[in-house]
Structure 1
Amino acid sequence: MTGAQPGSSSPAVLTTSGFDEVDTPQLRKFQRRVTLLSAGGTFLDGFDLTVIAVALPMIKEEWHITALDQSLIVSSAIIGSLIGASWLGNLTDKYGRKAMYVVDLLAFVVFATLTAFAWDIWPLIIFRFLLGVGIGADYPISATLVSEFSSNKRRGMHGTSLAGMWFVGAVAAYIFGLLLAPLGDFAWRALLLLGAVFALVVFIFRVKLPESPRWLVAHGREADAREVLRKVTGVEVDPNISLEKPPVIPVRDLFKGELGRRTFFVCGFWFCYATAYYGISMYTPTILAPFTGNDRTLTIIGSGLVAVLGLVGSIIGMNVVDRWGRRPLIITSFAGLTASLVILALNTDPGLGFLIVMFSTAVLFSNAGGGILNFVYPTELFPTSIRASAAGLATSVSRIGSIMGVLVFPNFVALWGANAALWFFAVIGLAGLVICIALAPETLHRSLEELDPTNAKAAKNA
């Protein structure tokens, strides 16, 4: 991209290869706005997926549910997100980033409201599943839109900010769990309803965002792309320039050649992260409850401390991702996660303090790399025409890992004890470490077009 400075008499010559050379104050303000509203969606993801962990001990107390019931309640939204990510991720490449970006928030509002008024276990499971469809869709939609509007120098920070807000949402679930605890039996319903209120606010502000110029160019709408570029940069676009339309890549090519290698990498590391993280975090309150004498407040505080350390990990990662690089960050992340899980598994008679410290260490390491780069790598490594589809596929595979984590943990504990479950997750963490050492590329400060393996010029200069 080349361009005139603001106030120059000559129009800027813009392409969609990045926003680095037209780095106006107006553009930076717009990029912050896109990131903030996209992060609002991931905040909701974190809140809605974590709030069920906070609510579960209360639901158990009221409905006297079985271990299988617990697994279904916790996993229902994750199963829904698997479907939402793959289905709506593909529709995002077909019909536009903005359309799906707004529509998926409606699912948050409607189904979060319905979960709060569920009258039995199965309505709760069904409504949580439908809420999950919207949750899953927001991953590829928001991450893709942010990456396509970001400059190369700040793309890592913008992308990881989305993941960071996921953990803010998770912490918020525990904070509001404490604040609403005095409501007694209605507390868990109030918590679920709060997710709908947050979603409505984000929905109102998202409606006014424009379509991605990269998507517009890919669909032959050059005039619309120029207009979006002019509005977001504040710089006039040369009317004679022809924006280069990228090639249309069939989705099946995600499983071939270099794209296939990248697909295996993003699906593999995200699957391993999600299996370990969800298996532990979704049951942290349940694990800690016996050590607190089933004191509801103390359990929420202990679990909240673990979530806060997870947030700290994501903040650390956000601040080094555009300086240190993606590859060393993700390798360190999985190494620390695996070591923490091994230490946990080796201690067969832990105390409350030990559990909180080691769970916190595990999620700090996991979230510093694997938990934030899942919003960066899937959008950096694939061409525009299938970017959201690839991100949606990776999200869906990660949901399989999440489902495995939440289903495996209570059943492993019931059959063989907590240590067997922790050894299982340690092996999963080790698998993620091996995948990252073998396949993680470095994408620091490279444009999306340079990273596109189907781009002949980029491939020649690589």
Structure 2
Amino acid sequence: MSSPRSTTRHAWWVAFLAGMVSYLDAGAIVSTGTALVLYGQAFGFGIETIAPLSSLLTFSIAAGAVVGGVVGDRIGRKRTFLATLSLFVVGAAILAFSPGIAWLYLGIVLLGFAAGADLPVSLAMVAEAATDDNRGKLISFSHFLWMAGVIAVFLLGTVIGGLGELGARILYGHLVVVGLVVLVLRMRLPESQAWKTTTTLVAVEGAPRARELLKPRYLAALVATALFYSLVNIAANINGQFGSYLYVEVAGVSVSTSSAISLGIVLVSMAAVFFMMRVVDGPRRMVWFAVMAAVSLVAFLLPATLGVTVVTLMVFGVLYSIAGAVAGEPMYKVWSQELFPTSHRATAQGITIAFTRVVAGVVGLWIPSLIAFGASAIFFLMAATSLVAFLIGILWIARMPKATDDDPALRPAYDGFDPFVDTDTDAAATQR
């Protein structure tokens, strides 16, 4: 019999090891942005090659999310994320030792596919190791790890940025080392007990039926979370991809100044995630969501109405980094665990993550033209898409019932058994 304290420690350990995919995902995206420039100088290619490689990474992540989600629900969390992380290490190694352009394409595809495939499965693993009292907190912690990955690459980039081709190899080599360490530690994790229990009890031959997600209740949740995440992510993606460009080419500061400001803002955002972790499992979650949604809109409208300057960009960055930690991607991750049952959780997340990445990739193609039309216009776009996302969250998602694994729409009821409850330590909780 395990004590509540040991159960909590185990849940945090699972949250760290499974959540490290967020660190690696961020590391892959940010490292690729820098490494391709450095490889371009060595291999003799420019934006005509960098642009399709960057897009290839985005679409590979999307494809991986769909496949990984389905496989994770079918064969289990542990086996899936061991395979995906192994593939991630192979992709990063190919990029680290690439002898030419052709190998970069192969490495990018493997790296992106593996990161995308790992994301929905690992998040499901975290949710299933948690309890009702800390599930949101542990899921939000993955966003902290995502930003840690960004900071690690930023700091590494400041050291190796002048090393050219060697610098690019070090950036990807860092991902190989971290990936191998996490892979070895993940091997000692047990399979998700919730997934094992659900698999035993679901009367399905072979695998959970993905078509169950097309039933009204789960289809509504699937559509709502996909729309919320894709719309709220448009602003985050624009800020991530074109933030430096706005500082340098529009506001007129140096690259080093832009990098220093961006690093400071990321640190503010990390602090904001801790606030999210404190309120997400409490009764005032949606109050804080609404407050931070309003703060986000104010942040967008400052440079939109006052013009794009260093001051407005800095104020925007600070406000948005705080608000986005509550009314952004972390809340999507929490809702995605709550609205889908164990047997379909990874599949649902894989679909919504893939949809969001595709939307981000398509919208990103039009942003340079919009900036050329007028830099303020992109902030109006960010405000408009985020407003729709916030309304979806407040008026639609927040009113949806949480999923339970004894839903008769999925299988025959089995006496209200809840695989999230530790029957050894909290027997009373199973009498629901």
Q: 1:153-210 CA distances to partner (integer Å, 9 max, x unpaired)?
A: 1111111111221111112221221232343553233223211211111111001111
Q: CA 1:70 to 1:342, structure 2 compared with 1: closer, same or farther past 3 Å?
A: farther
Given that 2:77 and 2:192 are in contact with CA atoms closer than 8 Å, whether structure 1 keeps it comes out as yes
Structure 2 residue 18 is matched with structure 1 residue 38: yes
Mapped partners of 2:142, 2:22: distance in 1: 6
TM-score by length of 1: 0.80
Of 404, 408, 411, the match for 2:362: 404
Mapped partners of 2:36, 2:67: distance in 1: 29
Q: Which amino acid aligns with 2:286?
A: R
Of 339, 350, 354, the match for 1:392: 350
Instruction: Tell me the CA shift for residue 99 of structure 1.
Output: 0.4
Q: CA 1:322 to 1:390, structure 2 compared with 1: closer, same or farther past 3 Å?
A: same
Mapped partners of 2:99, 2:284: distance in 1: 49
Q: For structure 1, which segment, 272-281 or 199-208, has the greater mean C-alpha deviation from structure 2 after superposition?
A: 272-281
Mapped partners of 1:57, 1:452: distance in 2: 54
Structure 2 residue 407 is matched with structure 1 residue 426: no
Q: CA 1:119 to 1:109, structure 2 compared with 1: closer, same or farther past 3 Å?
A: same
Mapped partners of 1:279, 1:304: distance in 2: 17
Given that 1:76 and 1:128 are in contact with CA atoms closer than 8 Å, whether structure 2 keeps it comes out as yes
Of 211, 214, 229, the match for 1:252: 211
In angstroms, what is the RMSD of aligned CA positions? 3.0
Given that 1:75 and 1:407 are in contact with CA atoms closer than 8 Å, whether structure 2 keeps it comes out as no
Structure 2 residue 282 is matched with structure 1 residue 302: no
SS of match in other structure, 1:282: helix
Which residue number in structure 2 is paired with residue 205 of structure 1?
Answer: 185
Mapped partners of 1:379, 1:284: distance in 2: 31
Which residue number in structure 2 is paired with residue 382 of structure 1?
Answer: 340
Which residue number in structure 2 is paired with residue 169 of structure 1?
Answer: 149
Mapped partners of 1:51, 1:58: distance in 2: 11
Q: 1:415-440 CA distances to partner (integer Å, 9 max, x unpaired)?
A: x2322222222221111012112212
Which residue number in structure 1 is paired with residue 398 of structure 2?
Answer: 441
Instruction: Tell me the CA shift for residue 123 of structure 1.
Output: 4.3
Q: 1:56-94 CA distances to partner (integer Å, 9 max, x unpaired)?
A: 66567665623x645433332221111111011101111
Q: For structure 1, which segment, 288-297 or 47-56, has the greater mean C-alpha deviation from structure 2 after superposition?
A: 288-297
Mapped partners of 1:143, 1:408: distance in 2: 31
Q: CA 1:354 to 1:185, structure 2 compared with 1: closer, same or farther past 3 Å?
A: farther
Which residue number in structure 2 is paired with residue 190 of structure 1?
Answer: 170
Given that 1:160 and 1:375 are in contact with CA atoms closer than 8 Å, whether structure 2 keeps it comes out as yes
Which residue number in structure 2 is paired with residue 148 of structure 1?
Answer: 128
After the TM superposition, which residues 43-442 of structure 1 pair with which residues of structure 2 at under 5 Å, given as runs? 43-55=23-35, 58=38, 63=44, 65-66=46-47, 69-118=49-98, 123-184=103-164, 186-220=166-200, 245-246=201-202, 250-290=209-249, 295-348=254-307, 350-414=308-372, 416-441=373-398
Which residue number in structure 2 is paired with residue 237 of structure 1?
Answer: none
Q: CA 1:29 to 1:361, structure 2 compared with 1: closer, same or farther past 3 Å?
A: same
Mapped partners of 1:448, 1:173: distance in 2: 39
Q: CA 1:286 to 1:64, structure 2 compared with 1: closer, same or farther past 3 Å?
A: farther
Mapped partners of 1:123, 1:130: distance in 2: 11
Instruction: Tell me the CA shift for residue 54 of structure 1.
Output: 4.5
Q: Which amino acid aligns with 1:250?
A: R
Mapped partners of 2:199, 2:371: distance in 1: 51
Instruction: Tell me the CA shift for residue 316 of structure 1.
Output: 1.9
Instruction: Tell me the CA shift for residue 30 of structure 1.
Output: 1.4
TM-score by length of 2: 0.85
Q: CA 1:398 to 1:329, structure 2 compared with 1: closer, same or farther past 3 Å?
A: farther
Mapped partners of 1:70, 1:430: distance in 2: 32
Q: CA 1:53 to 1:282, structure 2 compared with 1: closer, same or farther past 3 Å?
A: farther
SS of match in other structure, 1:141: helix
Given that 2:69 and 2:349 are in contact with CA atoms closer than 8 Å, whether structure 1 keeps it comes out as yes
Q: Which amino acid aligns with 1:212?
A: S
Q: CA 1:296 to 1:419, structure 2 compared with 1: closer, same or farther past 3 Å?
A: closer
Instruction: Tell me the CA shift for residue 216 of structure 1.
Output: 1.5
Given that 1:143 and 1:376 are in contact with CA atoms closer than 8 Å, whether structure 2 keeps it comes out as no
Q: Which amino acid aligns with 1:65?
A: G
Q: Which amino acid aligns with 2:236?
A: Y
